[in-house]
A and B are shown apart, each in its own frame.
Chain A
Amino acid sequence: MTREELQERILSILEHDFEFEAPGLTDNLRDDHGFDSIDAIELLGKIETMLGFTLSREEKEQAMSIRTINDILDYIEQIRSARQS
């Protein structure tokens, strides 16, 4: 999955499941869209399903520093890359 395809999937999830309106890649998730820690855990579950594997506790804790959609994409790419290496 390319970065563009990944971006499309994540934006779709955020718009449909989390009801984001006009999400921007650099928007602050909490301030601009009210995305909170409960949402973060829900999103990680959806990312697990999308990637086809279960995230470890350490990998999930890394996600808690995410602030923007670009951060989400970077995070997923980093996880995928680490798993492949």
Chain B
Amino acid sequence: MNRRVVITACSAITPIGYRREDIIDSLRAGRSGVRPLRDDGLLSGHIHSRVFGTVDYPIDYAFKRVHRKTMGPVAYYACQVAGDVLAQSGLAEEFITSGRLGVAFGSTHGSPTVQREIYKTFFGDLDNKFSSIGAVDYLRSMVHTTAVNITRMFGITGRVIASSTACTTSSQAIGFGYEMIKFGMQDAMICGGADEYDTTTVAVFDNLLACSVAYNDTPHRTPRPFDAARDGLVVGEGGGAVLLEEYESAKRRGAPILAEVIGFACNNNGGDLILPNLDGITATLRLSLEDAGISADQVDVVSAHATATKMGDVIEAQAIAGVYGDGPLVTGLKSYMGHTMGTCGVIELTLLLYMMEQGFVAPTLNLEQIDPRCDMIRHALTVIEQPIGIGAVQNFAFGGVNTSLIVRHADKDAT
């Protein structure tokens, strides 16, 4: 069995907006969602990087307590965007609960906010006579909390894949969801990821000297992917979901088809868990093109992982040049909002879908002077009005995990 898979809905909560129109406006206007790092009363004062990709607008959650009680902040993001894609899709209730719809959704490490509360209890910060670990604390904090809170809220009984591979969490979720449908295991999948405000992640990258520190007074000027003056990544928060469906059934029910997923690859560098690896990344990009059955010159846009670390961007530019040459436009969308960790793949795919629909490519923000070591590819430097037939989203994670997703515009049907 080898079925076609289409995207019929998408939604993202990002530092540059939640509503589709707000996100498109931000991309067109070059508006950054990076803000001063907010105080967490614990670590923030010790971190050198004072910037964060921040969701700073109110979200009108309408969750009942019966659902809220097992949700930490990360599951709020997850359930909100999952509800959005189900509502957009118009899928019937009986299908949603049929077992033919599954969930592939993850986060970097569940809910650090709830975990921090648990540690406070452990270390006696609270009343130690009667307090204990609450019955729901595990459900709210566990690493698969996003996926199963989605199943609980919407009565979904199909497969659950709770990927948790740091920066490739949601791109893996989308890829694995695509394979579930392609090979006939499920007929539809809600795929994505979420990560909440968390200073632990910032501290980890800060200690590795990988965080941006030179733009603390001008947060909107960082991160600066591929720029000569880049000085590291900026951690961010958010959530995103896409609904994948088997093409024939989506077409039969008249679902809005945003794009087709035509290729996916995921591999591992098989060695170092931190350093970017040219051979590993190159292999992933080539494998995804093979899976899609297309040649590199058919790809119009590459959404680069582009975290703005000193070495990561250089290795990625080399990999893109090696596989794609200087044909496709390359944009680094983290430049608008920082690195939303487990969410970045699904957010970057959602932004690509918006750009596909609108027919434009957003430039890499803050890319003012291209690092000569990254200058062999075709960077998007201004808003470019052009149709996007095929786009690629590539992401790489700690642990040596690489992913590449390839999607085709709904109107570019190959058959």
Contacts and interface: CB of A to CB of B under 8 A. Distances in A.
25 contacts: A18-B65, A19-B65, A34-B66, A38-B69, A38-B70, A38-B135, A38-B136, A38-B139, A39-B69, A41-B135, A42-B69, A42-B134, A42-B135, A42-B136, A45-B130, A45-B131, A45-B132, A45-B134, A45-B135, A48-B130, A49-B127, A49-B130, A52-B130, A54-B129, A54-B130
Interface in A17-55: 18-19, 34, 38-39, 41-42, 45, 48-49, 52, 54
Interface string B104-145: 000000000000000000000001011110111001000000
Contacts of A42: 69, 134-136
Contacts of A18: 65
Interface residues of A, number: 12
A9 B130 CA distance: 18
A18 to B, nearest CB: 7
B72 to A, nearest CB: 15
Interface residues of B, number: 13
A59 to B, nearest CB: 14
A18 B66 CA distance: 9
A68 to B, nearest CB: 19
Q: B-side binding surface: helix, strand, loop or mixed?
A: loop
Interface string B171-199: 00000000000000000000000000000
B148 to A, nearest CB: 13
A41 B129 CA distance: 17
Contacts of A48: 130
B11 to A, nearest CB: 27
Nearest to A55: B130
A54 B322 CA distance: 66
B177 to A, nearest CB: 29
Q: 7 nearest interchain CB pairs?
A: A41-B135, A19-B65, A49-B130, A34-B66, A38-B135, A48-B130, A42-B135
Nearest to A43: B135
Interface string B220-255: 000000000000000000000000000000000000
Contacts of B130: 45, 48-49, 52, 54
Nearest to A34: B66
A48 B65 CA distance: 22
Nearest to A39: B69
A46 to B, nearest CB: 9
Contacts of A19: 65
Interface in B51-110: 65-66, 69-70
Nearest to B70: A38
Contacts of B134: 42, 45
A42 B132 CA distance: 10
Contacts of B66: 34
A34 B129 CA distance: 30
Nearest to B139: A38
Interface string B351-391: 00000000000000000000000000000000000000000
Contacts of B69: 38-39, 42
A41 B131 CA distance: 12
A3 B255 CA distance: 59
Contacts of A38: 69-70, 135-136, 139
Contacts of A52: 130
A52 B129 CA distance: 9
Contacts of B127: 49
Interface string A1-24: 000000000000000001100000
Nearest to A41: B135
Interface string B145-188: 00000000000000000000000000000000000000000000
A54 to B, nearest CB: 7
A38 B367 CA distance: 51
A54 B129 CA distance: 8
Given A45-B132, A45-B134, 8 more contacts: A38-B135, A38-B136, A38-B139, A42-B69, A42-B134, A45-B135, A54-B129, A54-B130
Contacts of B135: 38, 41-42, 45
Nearest to B129: A54
A49 B130 CA distance: 6
A38 B70 CA distance: 9
A52 B66 CA distance: 28
A67 B66 CA distance: 18
